[in-house]
Amino acid sequence: MNLWKTYCNKILKNYDDFGAVENGLPYWRDYLFILTVIYILPLSLIALIPGLIVSFHFGFYTIAFFDSFAAISLILIAFSKSISQLTKKILFFIVVYGLAFVLLSTLGSFGPGLVYLLAGSIFMIIIFPSKYSWLSVIINIIFCTFYGLFIEYNLVSIHQSDINNTISWFAITSNLIFLNAVFSILIPKLFDGMQISLDKQRELDNKLQIKQKDLENSLSLVKSKNQELEQFAYIASHDLQEPLRMITSYLALLNKKYNSLFDEKAKQYIFFASDGAQRMRNIISDLLEYSRISRTEYIPEKLKLEEVVKEVISLQKRLISETEAEIKYYNLPEIYVYKTPLIQILQNLINNAIKYRKEETKPVIYINANENEEEWLISVKDNGIGIDKNSFNKIFVIFHRLHSRDKFDGTGIGLAITKKIVENLGGKIWVESEEGKGSTFYFTLKKQ
């Protein structure tokens, strides 16, 4: 095997002038020629050695001479680096046609000579560009005409078994020319078709590459805009905290010191102002949390999902006991994840599952985990009010809420934060729900 590899590499090294694979058909034509040389050289020994022995034995010195010429030419074609590929191809066809001539003149037209002529012409159609496909027909016509003349003027000895006159020769070889012409029309058509397909494929590849580049550019633009936006949200919400703190504390002072001077209306105004300030504080702190997500780096750790759920439950203890919510989970696996983001995700989902409960119905929440080869699929299912299916995507958009504040309190950022955390960890989040029956939120976490 190693010997065969060394032999192939040696020949391939002498053909460094053949085109690149992107050139399409010219490359494959050259490659086929090189492969032919690689295989023909050892295989020709099967014909050459017995040929040489028999020729010397029976005194067919022309065959012996030509066999040697063919062997030397093939070795040159295979191993010479200084001869150009075109010359090698021409030399190859000289060998094929020479062989056909010698076989015809020694073994007659019923010998393998005509087969060599046909095989040589088909090979020529394949190896040379389509526009030269008629060349083989012309060469065969010239060859057969001259050979006919040789027969006519007794320049070649006619074998016993042949129908030995010129007319029979032309009758036989007209079939060869006919087949040759058919191939010279059909084979280039096939090759041209292949070339068109290759060109189209290349064109598509180029277009795809351009689109991919555009996409990459757009992605990096979106990424940088996103970072700018996060930076803006961070700075704005951070800087808003201070004046807001002043408003809240002065409102509290006003209320405390001058409460006796206020009538009911003034007290109501101060209450609205404090309530507004409180809401603004919630929004600002949620915004700050949102803008912090991609800035924070975590270290993954091996955790029992059950322990994480228990931690979330203890964080939400008050809400759970106030609403008599029940949280059920079985057989939760051990996973390798970032703990803090996972707690944030579960806390947001469980909090919503309780918040959006049905009146007069105790909230029951199921937490489940499944896995495939690459990721964990975790679900949080509730028996709450459910979500209209037209809003499945909208609820993950920042500030998007489905209810007024007097029905359910909130800022509309919770699910946007959850989505951002999940996506930051390389996962996805979605919801399945039926109005009046409850919702199931699913999210995936990459195992690595």
Of 353, 365, 421, 422, the one binding ligand ADP by CB under 6 A = 353
C-beta closer to ligand ADP: residue 29 or 401: 401
Query: Does 362 contact ligand ADP by CB under 6 A?
Result: no
> Could you tell me the smallest distance in angstroms from the CB atom of residue 291 to ligand ADP?
16
Among 108, 111, 113, 410, binds ligand ADP (CB under 6 A): 410
Assign residue 437 a region: left if phi > 0, alpha if psi is -120 to 50, beta otherwise?
alpha
Q: Applying CB under 6 A, does 287 fall inside the site for ligand ADP? A: no
Pick between residue 103 and residue 349 the one whose CB is nearest to ligand ADP.
349
The letter for the amino acid at 176 is L
Stretch that binds ligand ADP, among 28-36, 121-129, 249-257, 395-403 (CB under 6 A): 395-403
* DSSP 8-state code for residue 336: E
Compute the least distance from the CB of residue 198 to ligand ADP, in Å.
Answer: 53
* CB closer to ligand ADP out of 277 and 354: 354
Q: Please state, in angstroms and as integers, the Cα–Cα distance from residue 251 to each residue in 217, 254, 280, 282, 358, following that order.
A: 50, 5, 14, 17, 36
Amino acid at site 173: T
Question: Shortest gap between Cβ of 305 and ligand ADP (angstroms)?
Answer: 20
| Long-range contact set of residues 358-363: C-beta below 8 Å, sequence gap at least 24 | 358/383, 358/384, 358/385, 358/436, 362/323, 362/324, 362/325, 362/326, 363/323, 363/324, 363/325, 363/326
- Identify which range of 117-125, 188-196, 295-303, 410-418 contacts ligand ADP by CB under 6 A: 410-418
Nearer CB in complex with ligand ADP: 51/384: 384
Q: Cβ closer to ligand ADP: 51 or 410? A: 410
Q: Which stretch binds ligand ADP (CB under 6 A): 9-17, 211-219, 256-264, 400-408?
A: 400-408
- CA dihedral for 85, 90, 94, 97, sign (positive or negative): positive
Task: Provide, rounded to whole angstroms, the least separation between the CB of residue 261 and ligand ADP.
Answer: 37
- Per-residue DSSP letters for 358-418? PTTS--EEEEEEEE-SSEEEEEEE--SS---GGGTTGGGSTT--SS-TTTS---S-HHHHH
Neighbours of 24 (CB within 10 A): 19
Q: Report the residue number, 130 or 383, with the smaller CB distance to ligand ADP.
A: 383
Q: Sign of the CA dihedral 345, 351, 356, 360?
A: positive
Binding status of residue 350 toward ligand ADP by CB under 6 A:
no
439 binds ligand ADP per the rule CB under 6 A: yes
What is the distance, to the nearest Å, from the Cα of residue 206 to the centroid of all Cα atoms in its chain? 14
Residues from 364 through 393 that contact ligand ADP (CB under 6 A): 382, 384-385, 387
419 near ligand ADP (CB under 6 A): no
| Distance, CA of 193 to CA of 319 (rounded, Å) | 72
List contacts with ligand ADP (CB under 6 A).
352-353, 356, 382, 384-385, 387, 395, 401-403, 410-416, 439
